[in-house]
Amino acid sequence: MKRKICFLLLIFTLFFSLPFSCVINNSSTIVACADIQDDFNETIDSQLENLDFGDIDKIIDDFNQKGNNIFGESSFLDKIYKIILGENLTDYPSIWDMLKSLFFDNILSLLPIIATIIAISILGGMVGNLKTNKNGKSMESIIHFVIYGLTVILISTIIFKMIDITTSTIHSVKAQTEVVFPILLTLLTAMGGTTSVGIYQPVMSFFSSTIIEIFTSFVLPLFLISIALNFISNLSNSIKLDKLSSFVNSLFKWVIGIMFTIFTAFISIQGISVAAVDGLSIRTAKFTIKNTIPIVGSYISDGFSLIIASSNLIKNAVGGAGLLLLLATIISPIIKLVLFVLALKLMAGIIQPLGDNKIANFISSLSKNMTMLLVMLVCVSFMYFILTGLVICSVNVI
Amino acid sequence: MSGVSSWILSIAGIICISVIVEIIMPEGQMNKYIKGVLSFIIIFVIVSPLPNLLNQKSINITTNIDQIQVQQDFLDKYNIACKDAIEKDLINEIKALGYEGINIEISYGFDGENCYFDKVFVELKGLVISENSTHKDIVEIKEEITSVVVKKLNEVEVYFEE
């Protein structure tokens, strides 16, 4: 599971550089004539007016309230203008400060619970070791039962908070797909990339409804079942449900693995092969005279290619802004989950020598379960990322 | 989903009961028999939903896929902007030939999904021939304009209004 996450994160960062290079290179190829520049700005403005950005500004307001300034601007439209003009995308010192404060705030909020649980377990372990009479065994079981119950109650508060954070982030990603993807598809159609649209539209619909549906209504309950079995199986020495837990864990891993592999393989191969087709067909339509583009007839003209070029820029800018928004959405939950997993492992390490063995087992398998949540989140955002990145890099006529 | 949660709750309940019984139970000969019976009950509870699952004829998973729609009004406005741009470009090209002051309007038709240009209306009322071109007949001017238009957008009908 750890290796899978490292692998996923590595591909994540590698892919991140790719679409941004497309976005950043675009603005430098604009013709440097003043007239055309003005015309161009006018066409871009008029096209941006007609696009409908929906609920994204609400999400951005939410971020700004919480002090999350990775996205920066006050509205999606402003960010798109910034990207089109090629200005500096992010304000690095303030983001670094924000990340630092996120880290330290979360560590500080986890510390009290960690300290309490470690204290309780060590106390229980020491009292259990002091058995002096023949009923020592049942005394130990009762003490373990009580301490275990306390630990479970204390940790459950954090677990439910983490589940809450994960589900709300996944829903936020779904809301973003419902705004950004139609705009990208519209711009692709306007530029004449109909084969691409024919492939991306069903995959996007499948992603934003079915895949996210599977995540929230099948995979998340699997995670909850796994946690419940974990709680139960560490209650006593003789009754163990380890193998049932591992069945549920494997089911979880297989479902996510299969969905992810099918999705990525399908969309990458089709997306890459189709992008070339559409780009080529638009370029050849410029030189030969054919009625293949279903929007308007054929052409060779400056005004027309200016319009297509502005659509192209807007498409890439919308994709880039959407990716930045995604990054701003997922960075805080990921940091919280990672810190929680590490804290759990630390606790298990400290409890094991002094306290009861069962509690240490419980906490370390709980940390493995929390990585499931992390995997879910990374998976969903990665799929969204791949789709947007492919749309940005496809059908570039400029 | 309620079926799954009740299954898990019953497993949790039976295990809690067996743990408590194990703690409370005094040492004795009945010990191992009680433990055996309890583990049998636990296995029974874990396996209990399987017969229901196997008897179900079909698993109906209804997922409605909401299509991600293209924003059609943007495309309509975009089409109109494209048409205006092509008209302007045509006027500029004809200006380069030496004829100014004409007005061009393109009309398009739909054939199922595709949008194509079918008629071009050229207004020659304000036609001004610039000085460096030689004097030409109106018919020749019309032919020149028609050839420019047809070279750009083939298969259109050109109508002149004077």
Chain B: give the shortest CA distance to residue A41, in Å.
14
Chain B: give the shortest CA distance to residue A315, in Å.
13
**If you write DSSP's letter for every residue of A92-140 in order, what string do you get?**
HHHHHHHHHHHHHHHHHHHHHHHHHHHHHHHHHHHHHHT--STTHHHHH
Is A190 in contact with B22 (Cβ distance < 8 A)? no
Tell me the C-alpha distance between B80 and A337, whole Å.
Answer: 50
Is the domain of B50 the same as that of B116? Answer: no
**Pick from B63, B67, B154: CB nearest A298:** B154
Predicted local distance difference test score (pLDDT) of residue A371? 92
Is A297 in contact with B108 (Cβ distance < 8 A)? yes
Is the domain of B48 the same as that of B81? Answer: no
Cβ–Cβ contact B88 with A under 8 A: yes
Q: Are A320 and A19 in contact (CB under 8 A)?
A: yes
Residue B66 falls inside a structural domain:
no
- What's the mean per-residue pLDDT of chain A? 81
Is the domain of B84 the same as that of B139? Answer: yes
Is the domain of B78 the same as that of B133? Answer: yes
Predicted local distance difference test score (pLDDT) of residue A298? 38
Residue B60 falls inside a structural domain:
no
Residue B67 falls inside a structural domain:
no
- Predicted confidence (pLDDT) per residue in B39-74, tens digit: 899 999 989 888 887 887 666 666 667 777 888 888
What is the CATH number for B136?
Answer: 3.30.70
Provide the number of structural domains found in chain B: 2
Residue B83 falls inside a structural domain:
yes
Residue B62 falls inside a structural domain:
no
The nearest alpha carbon in chain A to B117 belongs to: A297
Mean pLDDT of B24-34: 84
Is the domain of B51 the same as that of B91? Answer: no
Is the domain of B81 the same as that of B125? Answer: yes
Domain ranges of chain A: 2-94+174-338+371-393
Last residue of a domain, one of B10, B25, B55: B55
Is the domain of B94 the same as that of B49? Answer: no
**Pick from B35, B42, B82: CB nearest A307:** B82
Is the domain of B89 the same as that of B43? Answer: no
**Pick from A52, A225, A311: CB nearest B71:** A52
Predicted local distance difference test score (pLDDT) of residue A299? 42
- Predicted confidence (pLDDT) per residue in A338-362, tens digit: 999 999 999 999 998 887 788 899 9
- Token pair, residue A299, equals 């052409």
Residue B80 falls inside a structural domain:
yes
Is the domain of B6 the same as that of B49? Answer: yes
Q: ipTM > 0.90?
A: no
Range of the domain at B16: 2-55
* C-alpha dist (Å) from residue A152 to A75, A311, B140: 43, 55, 94
